[in-house]
Homo-oligomer: A and B are copies of this chain.
Amino acid sequence: MSDTQTPPSADSIASIGSIDSTDAGRDARHIARMQRKKDVVDAKIAAAQDERGVLVVNTGNGKGKSSAAFGVVARALGHDFSVAVVQFVKSRSDTGEEGFYRKVADLCPGQLTWHVMGEGFTWETQDPARDAKAAQAAWTLARQYLRDPGVDLVVLDELTYAFKYGWLALDEVLADLAARPALQHVVITGRAAPEGLVAAADTVTEMTLVKHAFKAGVKAMPGVEF
């Protein structure tokens, strides 16, 4: 895309007149419409020139919060970034993403570290003290990456549950996030992101559930759900 700083020009606004219904007329209108879109996009790109680490939050009840984070890991590795992933909830031991990225980590030593820290869903362990300890240990580890300017991307998968159950203090987490290196990106996932986290984030997506195969009786399928 162009780097021009020129705003959309008056010339790009189509004149209102008789409508030419030939193919050539339709094409001309399409081209004029696309030119206007391009002008708007170019102007927005010209206005966004700040370079810094961004804090991304993927929340909501829909599918895609963690998988989007794992897709960003692929992107970051494609740019030869150094990446650390800390998973705060261990739902099962046979996830495709962990298996895949463990292989990738072996192939690019020092570029990717992956930690599964949780003890399983809280309704599995039913031991609040143990869950809190596991979350605090995970945060101690995460904080090391958040203090390391050599790490370009930190993924904190399913972190939000730690706030829901009171395992971690939001203020302390926000302070550690704010103190991270200026160019370090962070992706946080999990349902019900607290307001303070949303306020601190640069990019927030609510993954809204429209429908889910599971509700229609389809088992959680390997390769898609885990």
Contacts and interface: CB of A to CB of B under 8 A. Distances in A.
Nearest to A49: B219
A136 B123 CA distance: 49
B206 A208 contact: yes
A11 B204 CA distance: 41
- Centre residue among A53, A67, A217 by max chain B CB count within 10 A: A67
A224 B75 contact: yes
Nearest to A33: B123
A21 interface: no
Contacts of A62: 205-207
A201 interface: yes
A78 B98 contact: yes
Contacts of A100: 74-75, 77-78
A37 to B, nearest CB: 4
A50 to B, nearest CB: 5
Nearest to A56: B224
Contacts of A126: 30-31, 34-35, 38
Interface string A68-108: 11111111111101000000000010011111110110010
A203 B207 contact: no
Interface string A169-206: 00000000000000001010000000000100111111
Nearest to A218: B50
Contacts of A70: 70-71, 74-75
A224 B58 CA distance: 13
A148 interface: no
B208 A60 contact: yes
Contacts of A16: none
Contact of A78 (B54, B96, B203, B214): B96
Given A62-B206, A204-B210, A213-B202, A123 B219 contact: no
A220 interface: yes
Contacts of A10: none
A216 B204 contact: no
Interface in A27-58: 27, 30-31, 34-35, 37-38, 41, 44-45, 47-54, 56, 58
Given A63-B205, A64-B65, A208-B208, 10 more contacts: A37-B122, A38-B126, A48-B217, A52-B221, A56-B213, A62-B205, A78-B97, A79-B223, A185-B221, A202-B218
